[in-house]
Amino acid sequence: MSFFSVSTNNGKMDIKPVASYPLNTDSSLLLYYTFETTNGLSLLNNKTGLYDASLSNTAIVTTANKKNGSQSGYFNGTGYYVTLPSTLTIGTNGFTIACWINITALPFSNCVIWQLGDGNGSGSPAWNGNISFGIYSNNVIQVGSFKHGINCSYSSGFSTGSWYHIVFTFNSSFQCLLYVNGSQVQSSNGSEYTFVNSPVSYCYLGNGTYNGGFGNPSYNGYLDDFRIYNRVLSAAEIASLYTYK
Res 123 pLDDT > 90: no
Domains along the chain with CATH numbers: 27-243 (2.60.120.200)
Count CB-CB contacts under 10 A for residue 57.
14
What does pLDDT average to over the chain?
78
Q: Which residue has the higher pLDDT, 29 or 213?
A: 29
Contact 100, 221 (CB under 8 A): no
For 5-17, write each residue's pLDDT tens digit: 434 444 443 434 4
Cα(233)–Cα(235) distance, rounded to whole angstroms?
7
Using CA atoms of 47, 60, 205, 20 in order, give the dihedral in degrees to the nearest 10.
30
Instruction: Give per-residue pLDDT as tens, 199-225.
Output: 677 788 988 766 556 666 788 999 999
The pLDDT > 70 percentage for the chain reads 73
